[in-house]
């Protein structure tokens, strides 16, 4: 029995790895999506709006299965059309990271967009009039304030993303949920292993919430503090 718990603990490291890598993808997509929506360019705005609408309207599990199985079938079909006999299998870790990042990039887009809109436009205009390059003005003026406004929504997205890594077990990635199911099937004691997994998820989300509240307090110095 102890060997199963050790294996689940080891799998929890993979869970954290998937979460962090997916978060990086989501942040990049969120910034790009928010920039596109606020760019004032109809084409970019339409693409970003379609992305956020579709992704937020389709269940995460369906998107993950489409990317993993549909992507594998699509790539192999293209290779077949090209006359190649080689086959491609999408790595479950890569599929999980890209899918979760793609899904939560849509939520991050709305979080970042709302945060940027909360900043008075006059600040950027004043910075540019003062002689700052737009990129420099963004990094020095917009970004620090955007982080403060975005942190509550960012926190919620991150907590949900961590829990959504359980879906990656369905495509064969041996993270802690997958290993819990394996241990339950082998010992016929599902309650103990799934309870242990739930406790690990609770530990990760609690630590994350504590750290992000500290970060929020730091960025809220001199302003009215809000609870995450």
- What confidence tier does 224 reach under pLDDT thresholds 50, 70, 90? low
Distances in Å between the Cα of 107 and the Cα atoms of 26, 43, 139, 210, 211 are 8, 20, 22, 22, 21
pLDDT of residue 53: 93
pLDDT exceeds 70 at position 94:
yes
Architecture of the 2-219 domain: Orthogonal Bundle (1.10)
In 51-61, which positions are buried (b, 16+ CB within 10 angstroms) versus exposed (e)? bbeebeeeebe
Instruction: Note the pLDDT tens digit of each residue in 98-147.
Output: 889 999 999 999 999 999 888 887 777 777 777 777 777 777 887 788 88
pLDDT exceeds 70 at position 228:
no
DSSP letter string over 129-154? HHT--HHHHIIIIIHHHHHHHHHHHH
The reported pTM is 0.86
Q: In whole angstroms, how large is the CA radius of gyration of the chain?
A: 21
pLDDT of residue 70: 80
pLDDT of residue 199: 94
The domain locations on the chain are: 2-219
pLDDT of residue 222: 58
How many angstroms separate the CA atoms of 53 and 115, rounded? 19
**Encoded tokens for 78:** 């293209």
Instruction: Note the pLDDT tens digit of each residue in 143-201.
Output: 788 888 899 999 999 999 999 999 888 888 888 999 999 898 888 888 889 999 999 99
Q: Select from 156, 152, 159, 117 the least CA-distant residue to 225.
A: 152
Q: Select from 146, 144, 142, 163 the least CA-distant residue to 154.
A: 146
Instruction: Note the pLDDT tens digit of each residue in 57-76.
Output: 988 888 888 877 887 788 88
Q: Select from 89, 55, 93, 44 the least CA-distant residue to 71.
A: 89
């Amino acid at each position: 029995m102890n060997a199963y718990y050790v294996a689940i603990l080891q799998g929890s490291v993979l869970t954290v790895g998937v979460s962090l890598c997916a978060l990086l993808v989501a942040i990049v997509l969120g910034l790009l999506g928010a920039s596109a929506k606020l760019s004032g360019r109809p084409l970019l705005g339409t693409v970003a709006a379609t992305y956020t609408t579709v992704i937020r309207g389709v269940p995460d599990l369906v998107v993950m299965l489409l990317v993993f199985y549909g992507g594998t079938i699509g790539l192999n079909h293209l290779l077949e059309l090209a006359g190649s006999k080689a086959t491609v299998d999408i790595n479950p870790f890569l599929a999980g990271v890209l899918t979760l990042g793609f899904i939560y990039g849509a939520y991050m887009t709305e979080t970042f967009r709302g945060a940027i809109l909360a900043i008075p436009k006059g600040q950027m205009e004043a910075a540019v009039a003062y002689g700052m390059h737009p990129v420099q003005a963004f990094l020095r003026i917009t970004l620090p304030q955007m982080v403060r406004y975005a942190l509550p929504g960012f926190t919620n997205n991150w907590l949900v993303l961590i829990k959504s890594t359980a879906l990656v077990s369905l495509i064969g990635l041996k993270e802690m949920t997958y290993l819990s199911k394996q241990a339950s099937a082998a010992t016929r004691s599902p309650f103990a292993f799934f309870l242990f997994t739930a406790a690990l998820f609770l530990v990760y989300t609690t630590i994350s919430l504590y750290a992000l509240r500290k970060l929020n307090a730091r960025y809220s110095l001199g302003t009215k503090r809000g609870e995450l």
